[in-house]
Amino acid sequence: MRDLFERLQDRPTGKALRFFVGALLFLSLKRSLRGVYLRGEAPGGPLVLALNHHSFFDGHLVWFLGRLYRRPVSLLVAEENLKAFPVLKLAGALEAGRVREALRRLGRGEWVALFPEGAMAYPGALRPLRRGAGWLAGKAGAPLLPVALRVVLRGYEHPEAFLLMGKPLLPGEDLERALGGLLGDLDALLAKTHPREVPEGFREVLRGRRSLEERIRPLVRLLP
């Protein structure tokens, strides 16, 4: 059964609240990060996104990907988290146990995203994955797309977010191997790139908050 926030989705009040929640998520990214950078492309149609989960901003970035591609995206979230912040349902959050609803949304051509590690952990190698992502993609007949992400503090005052999209997996392909390899590639690329340069192949998809030195540099150049 649809709850209050889901019933509000198509009503004026719900649309206004959804806009407000989306604006807060966008401002959080814009004001907290120096930028968001993306490499790779997502295929069209329904999609199951599987991402590592090592930072506070990961859920924000899932929402932003949907906004970037203009696709409705639902992020599977632990039920206790949605009980604390049920308004996030207006931004696409869905209880992880509501598999039938996730399948219905995939059937409508939407995206469903999840963190198959099961919980947020300290940044590092990929932890063992749960099987839900592959099962969901197989049941829905939708592509399964691994996405590696890092939110890192490098050569500027504010952290930067990097998302590396892999290739859609064929049925039976090993998600843990694919996502783990993708995350290793992203870490290696960041390690060999100068902290003030954008890694090869990445494009800036959101310009965020600049460092103090960057903001005052034009003024300094005006001095004799």
Residue 188 lies in a domain: yes
Mean pLDDT in residue range 146-158? 97
The CA distance from 9 to 126, in Å, is: 35
Whole-model pTM: value is 0.91
pLDDT at 92: 86
Residue 136: domain span: 4-207
Residue 44 lies in a domain: yes
Residue 174 lies in a domain: yes
Residue 186 lies in a domain: yes
pLDDT, tens digit, 9 for 90 and up, residues 90-103: 888 999 999 999 99
Structure tokens at 106: 């995939």
The CA distance from 156 to 34, in Å, is: 8
Helix (H, G, I), strand (E, B), or coil: what is residue 149?
strand
Residue 40 lies in a domain: yes
Number of domains within the chain: 1
Share of the chain above pLDDT 70, in %: 95
Mean pLDDT in residue range 171-198? 95
Instruction: Output the CA torsion sign for 89, 169, 191, 210.
Output: negative
Instruction: Output the CA torsion sign for 173, 176, 177, 178.
Output: positive
DSSP for 6-28 reads: HHTTTSHHHHHHHHHHHHHHHHH
Residue 218 lies in a domain: no
The CA distance from 185 to 60, in Å, is: 23
Burial of 159 per CB tally in 10 Å (0-12, 13-18, 19+)? middle
Residue 219 lies in a domain: no
On the question of pLDDT at 67 being above 70, the answer is yes
Question: Are 96 and 78 in contact, with CB atoms under 8 Å apart?
Answer: yes
Residue 137 lies in a domain: yes
Question: Are 60 and 29 in contact, with CB atoms under 8 Å apart?
Answer: yes
Poorest-confidence range of 26-35, 50-59, 81-90, 162-171?
Answer: 81-90
On the question of pLDDT at 27 being above 90, the answer is yes
